[in-house]
Amino acid sequence: MNDPRIAQLNLPPGMIDFGVGQPSPALLPLALLRTAAANRLDGKDAAFLAYGAEQGDGYFRAALAGLLSEHYRLAVEADQLFVTAGASMGLDLLCTLFARPGDTIFVEEPSYFLALRIFADHHLKIISLPMDAGGLIIEALEEKLSRHRPVFLYTIPTFHNPSSYTLGADRRELLVELSRKNNFLIVADEVYHLLNYAASPPPPPLASYIEADTVLSLGSFSKIMAPGLRLGWIQGGAQLLKRVTRCGLLDSGGGLNPFTSGVMRSAIEMGLQRDQLKILKTTYAKRKSALSKALKIYLPDSVRYSEPEGGFFIWLVFPEGVDTEKMRAEARRKNVGYLPGIKFSSGRKLKNCARLSFSYFDVPELEEGARRLGLVIKEHMKGY
Ligand SMILES: Cc1ncc(COP(=O)(O)O)c(C=O)c1O
């Protein structure tokens, strides 16, 4: 259990809460970051303790560009990167700079529930677009474009939160083509792209299309190192990034997170980020397989889900009529938790869905949690 004075999460003892979508404390790399920080602090150059360059520390961006080039299998340049204090902050900044209250945006249904909170803060009008196992449905997007003019479309193209769906390569091409034709921005939240557990890689990230100058790609160290770093990036073409780097926030405070960028620069240059990513992928892949197997044993066949190839989540789809929000209270009494589908719907739908995360708990707890969840579901569904 985390200490609530210092951590956002405060789990009751004994509770196996599949709603928690963050790494377990044991996966937070204390020793690794101690080494990286010592490397940076032992140097003679204290520039990373000054107000930083607006676009972000150039040495860090060069190291990050190298890391992304390797994992995206794409030539990423340092000047295509803007340093953020995490993907959430990056998204909030893009709302500030590219949208006005009352503007229309498109989001997927389901979508990342906390992004919906950010859009609400900016008073944006949300139009939702359906997805299937191949990601956002392009025909539905075309239909909505005939009736609405969004300032941007927010998508999680790879290992989606909460559905784990991945947008197919052909659909990526079509999506970018539509953004050019119809003059809207694509805000691609690609924070899970590097967490791939399958033998073959996912389709190229939407970051591959930044030359179109209609795409901005959000990345984050929250999923591949530690959320407490509050460090991420936006990858984009020259015109769009210019609009980002010229904002008042940076004029006053300078570039974001120069200190943490300095530490992460060392972590990347010393090969420690690569090592950590390997550990995370191995651990999460094991957890994902264990939870999928346990669900197969304990859940009724009428609950559908597919085994994800990456990311943090398994998306459960119950028969119509099941209300996962209502069932949640029964689950809590049995010391198991999940997030109900309604949270991920901009129109308060998806009542028959639920998101499970396998990032926080270890294999035995995941198996026990699946067993408890199975009991709750079977009891709840007796009436159906
Ligand atoms: C799709 C998505 N975007 C953004 C975030 C938050 O990222 P960060 O910690 O970099 O703000 C999360 C974390 O759960 C996420 O799932």
**What digits encode the pLDDT tens for the residues 104-132?**
999 999 999 999 999 999 999 999 999 99
pLDDT digits (tens, 9 = 90+) for 295-339: 999 999 999 999 999 999 999 999 999 999 999 999 999 999 999
Quote the ligand 1 centre to 297 CA distance (angstroms). Answer: 31
The confidence score (pLDDT) of residue 8 equals 80
| Cα 251 to the center of its chain, rounded Å | 28
User: Could you tell me how far CA 153 lies from the centroid of its own chain?
Assistant: 16
Q: Give me the mean pLDDT over the 282-290 stretch.
A: 98
Mutation to probe ligand 1, out of 91, 95, 112, 218 (largest number of atoms < 8 A from CB): 112
Distance CA(360)–CA(20), nearest Å, equals 6
Ligand 1 atom with the smallest distance to the CA of 156 is: 1
Ramachandran quadrant class, 207 (left: phi over 0; alpha: psi -120 to 50; beta: rest): alpha
The alpha carbon of 8 and the centre of ligand 1 are apart by a number of angstroms equal to 14
Instruction: Specify the pLDDT at position 188.
Output: 98
- Pick from 82, 117, 155, 220 the residue to mutate for probing ligand 1's pocket: most ligand atoms within 8 Å of its CB: 220
**pLDDT tens column, 202-250:** 999 999 999 989 999 999 999 999 999 999 999 999 999 999 999 999 9
Kindly provide the b/e burial profile for residues 184-202, where b requires at least 16 CB atoms within 10 angstroms of the residue's own CB.
Answer: bbbbbbbbbbbbbbeeeeb
Phi, psi of 81, rounded to the nearest 5 degrees? -115, 140
**b/e map 22-59, b = 16+ CB within 10 Å:** bbeeebebeebbeebbebbeeeeeeebeeebbbbbbbb
Structure tokens at 271: 């090969």
* Nearest-atom index, ligand 1, CA of 89: 11
- Cβ count near 113 (within 10 Å): 18
Beta-strand runs (E) in the chain: 16-17, 81-84, 104-109, 125-132, 135-136, 152-155, 185-189, 215-220, 232-236, 313-317, 336-337, 339-340, 353-357
Whether the pLDDT of residue 57 is over 90: the answer is yes
C-alpha 17/C-alpha 177 separation (Å) is 41
Q: Are 208 and 188 in contact (CB under 8 A)?
A: no
Name the average pLDDT for the chain.
96
Show the beta-strand stretches assigned E in 259-325.
Answer: 313-317
Distance (angstroms) between ligand 1 centre and the Cα of 15 equals 23
β-strand pairing of 81-84 with 16-17: unpaired
Best probe residue, ligand 1, of 95, 191, 284 (max atoms within 8 Å of C-beta): 191
One-letter amino acid for residue 70 of the chain: E
- Given a contact cutoff of 8 angstroms between Cβ atoms, the answer to whether 126 and 119 are in contact is yes
Q: CB of 156 within 8 A of CB of 344?
A: no
Q: What is the Cα–Cα distance from 116 to 344, expressed in whole angstroms? A: 8
pLDDT at residue 174 greater than cutoff 80: yes
Tell me the DSSP string of 205-267.
Answer: PGGGGGGGSSEEEEEESTTTT-GGG--EEEEE-HHHHHHHHTSHHHHHH-BS-HHHHHHHHHH
Locus of tokens 């520390």? 57
DSSP secondary structure string for all residues of 54-89: TT--HHHHHHHHHHHHHHHTS---GGGEEEES-HHH
Question: Measured in angstroms, how far is the CA atom of residue 191 from the centroid of ligand 1?
Answer: 7
Atom of ligand 1 minimally distant from the CA of 90 = 11
The β-bridge relationship of strands 125-132 and 104-109 is: parallel
Kindly report the protein residue whose alpha carbon is nearest to atom 16 of ligand 1: 161
Instruction: Tell me if 106 sits within 8 A of 129, measured CB to CB.
Output: yes
pLDDT bin (cut points 50, 70, 90) of residue 2 is: low
Q: How far is the CA of 349 from the centre of ligand 1 (A)?
A: 22
Query: Residue 181 Cα, ligand 1 centroid: separation in angstroms?
Result: 29
What distance in angstroms lies between residue 93's CA and the mean position of ligand 1's atoms?
14
Write out residues with Cβ below 6 Å of ligand 1.
Answer: 21, 86-88, 112, 156, 161, 189, 191, 220, 222, 227, 232
What global pTM score does this model have? 0.97
